């Protein structure tokens, strides 16, 4: 038998010999054994003994079995108490695994890219699952977490495309950023009352998840119609991407929409924002392709970076005079967005990033300040002051009443099923005094909801 030996401050390192262990290397420290390496050519089932040279095996070191792609099973002894970072990284043939009872923490990347891992048993006493521990374990379909779990770190189960169900036990405190990122088959999720923190994008891309439920007694969160808010419902935390409703009406208690909160909600067409809203976070509506109807309330102060990135259904938006902060690339890749109206002065840090799609025109109103000929690379056109109008039915005919003054004229646009055409229905309506009335009898034969937009002409000298 050939034995490799060298001395160091860390201890002694040997190569094990035997019928099924000759691919392993171990290290002895203070009378305890740590498995440190395995040849990448190792194949089949491997049983790690409880003792080596009469000493207990207590740990699997960082990356010890990494890239052992032909191992189909690894059995660890009950004496084991520690599993290092990336211990089983890319063990792509590993099919099932039982974590020993003495292990209390699964380190980062423990089973990352173990793409054949279909079953894992986690012991009572385990309290933390590290970052990306089960990243891209695409064969996992169900996971039962022990009652002792308190933290799932960032991306713990990200890209587990086959995961359909996971039980989150009472006592769980934290779900990290991107915890279930792109778990596209996850169909149901109940959050425990103990949960106090959820990270950004923790349910991003969960397209099969139609809604969330929350156990009774939570002091940190609330759920309304399957949507997650903080306890006071002042913050929209997470709108499930698989929710099939076409309309989202936010309660008047909401003052902020969180980062990534409504990302990739493909079925949404209309979002009704409350008058209480002050802040929309970064990438809040990222990739929500179907949204066509969106009215920003007066009082809105801030739009985060890329808040409506790739919202291809938007054709026109009007930003209120209250807006103070406009993040970078707010409307970038909104391919059908041709009109961006600013009712107020140019917002702060206004040159950060692009304004919108290449076809977008920026419209601002006479009397506002800070504007030049272009804004973030897009042309700026100056309009008259905002139009005040109302809609009523007079003698059975829809009639617009427009506040006006002598010499003014207006363009009137009408939507068909929420979509405005590029050309005005009425290109030049002269004012008839302080109040101009315009009747629209053709609306009576129009199917679906109708919206009107009125633009005042202005001459700039």
Per CATH, which fold does 245-384 belong to?
3.80.10
**pLDDT score for 419:** 67
- The DSSP symbol for 246 reads S
**pLDDT score for 451:** 81
Q: Which tokens go with 151? A: 């933290």
pLDDT range class, residue 356, cuts 50, 70, 90 = low
pLDDT range class, residue 4, cuts 50, 70, 90 = very low
Instruction: Please tell me which of 15-19, 21-25, 75-79 the model is most confident about, judged by mean pLDDT.
Output: 75-79
% of the chain residues with pLDDT over 90: 71
Can you tell me which residue has the tokens 């229905």?
A: 425
Coil vs helix vs strand at 444:
helix
- The DSSP symbol for 72 reads E
Does pLDDT of 196 surpass 90? yes
**pLDDT score for 221:** 99
CB within 8 A of 19, min separation 6: which ones?
A: none
Compute the mean pLDDT over every residue in the chain, rounded to the nearest whole number.
89
pLDDT digits 0-9 by tens, 379-436: 999 887 667 888 888 988 989 999 888 778 888 988 776 666 667 889 899 988 889 9
**pLDDT score for 383:** 82
Average pLDDT over every residue of 290-319? 94
Least confident of 134-143, 257-266, 277-286, 444-453: 444-453
C-alpha 426/C-alpha 445 separation (Å) is 18
Q: Which tokens go with 237? A: 């935390």
Does pLDDT of 9 surpass 70? no
Does pLDDT of 172 surpass 60? yes
C-alpha 402/C-alpha 433 separation (Å) is 10
Closest CA to 139 of 181, 92, 174, 198: 92
- The DSSP symbol for 387 reads P
Q: In the chain, what are the domain boundaries? A: 245-384, 389-456
Closest CA to 107 of 48, 144, 66: 66
Question: Phi then psi for 179, rounded to 5 degrees?
Answer: -55, -45
**pLDDT score for 12:** 41
Closest CA to 214 of 235, 232, 188, 236: 188
**pLDDT score for 422:** 66
C-alpha 412/C-alpha 400 separation (Å) is 10
**pLDDT score for 351:** 53
pLDDT digits 0-9 by tens, 116-128: 999 999 999 999 9
Average pLDDT over every residue of 81-100? 98
Closest CA to 422 of 316, 268, 343: 316
> CA-based angle 60:65:69, to the nearest 5?
155
% of the chain residues with pLDDT over 70: 90
**pLDDT score for 352:** 58
Does pLDDT of 22 surpass 90? no
Can you tell me which residue has the tokens 């890209």?
A: 159
Q: Which tokens go with 117? A: 């891992």
Closest CA to 310 of 260, 255, 379: 260
């Amino acid at each position: 038998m050939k034995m490799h030996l060298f001395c160091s401050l860390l201890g002694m390192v040997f190569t094990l010999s035997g019928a099924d262990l000759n691919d392993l290397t171990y290290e002895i420290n203070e009378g305890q054994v740590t498995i440190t390496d395995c040849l990448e050519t190792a194949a089949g089932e491997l049983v790690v003994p409880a003792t080596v040279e009469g000493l207990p095996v207590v740990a699997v070191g960082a990356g010890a079995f990494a890239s052992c792609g032909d191992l189909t099973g690894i059995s660890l002894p009950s004496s084991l108490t520690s599993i290092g970072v990336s211990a089983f990284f890319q063990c792509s043939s590993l099919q099932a695994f039982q974590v020993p009872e003495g292990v209390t923490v699964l380190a980062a990347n423990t089973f990352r890219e173990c793409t054949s891992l279909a079953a894992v048993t986690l012991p009572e006493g385990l309290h933390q699952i590290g970052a990306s521990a089960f990243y891209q374990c695409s064969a996992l379909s169900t996971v039962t977490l022990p009652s002792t779990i308190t933290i799932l770190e960032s991306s713990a189960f990200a890209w587990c495309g086959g995961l359909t169900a996971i039980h989150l036990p009472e006592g769980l405190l934290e779900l990290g950023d991107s915890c279930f990122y792109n778990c596209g088959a996850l169909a149901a999720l109940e959050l425990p009352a103990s949960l106090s923190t959820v990270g950004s994008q923790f349910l991003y891309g969960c397209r099969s998840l139609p809604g969330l439920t929350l156990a009774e007694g939570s002091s940190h969160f609330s759920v309304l119609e399957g949507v997650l808010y903080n306890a006071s419902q002042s913050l929209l935390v997470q709108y499930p991407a698989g929710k099939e409703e076409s309309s989202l009406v936010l309660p008047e208690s909401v003052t902020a929409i969180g980062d990534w909160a409504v990302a990739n909600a493909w079925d949404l067409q209309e979002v009704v924002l409350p008058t209480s809203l002050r802040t929309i976070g970064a990438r809040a509506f990222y990739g929500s392709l179907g949204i066509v109807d969106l009215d920003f309330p007066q009082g809105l102060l801030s739009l985060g970076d890329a808040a409506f990135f790739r919202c291809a259904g938007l054709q026109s938006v009007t930003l209120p005079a209250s807006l103070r902060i406009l993040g970078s690339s707010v409307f970038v890749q909104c391919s059908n967005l041709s009109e961006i109206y600013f009712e107020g002065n140019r917002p702060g840090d206004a040159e950060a990033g692009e304004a919108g799609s290449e076809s977008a025109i920026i419209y601002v109103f006479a009397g506002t300040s800070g504007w030049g000929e272009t804004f973030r690379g897009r042309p700026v056109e100056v309009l008259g002051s905002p139009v005040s109008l109302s809609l009523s039915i007079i003698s059975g005919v829809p009639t617009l009443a427009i506040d006006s003054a002598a010499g003014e004229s207006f363009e009137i646009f009408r939507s068909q099923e929420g979509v405005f055409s590029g050309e005005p229905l009425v290109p030049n309506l002269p004012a008839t005094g302080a109040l101009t009335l315009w009747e629209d009898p053709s609306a009576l034969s129009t199917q679906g909801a109708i919206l009107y937009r009125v633009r005042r002409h202005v001459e700039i000298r």
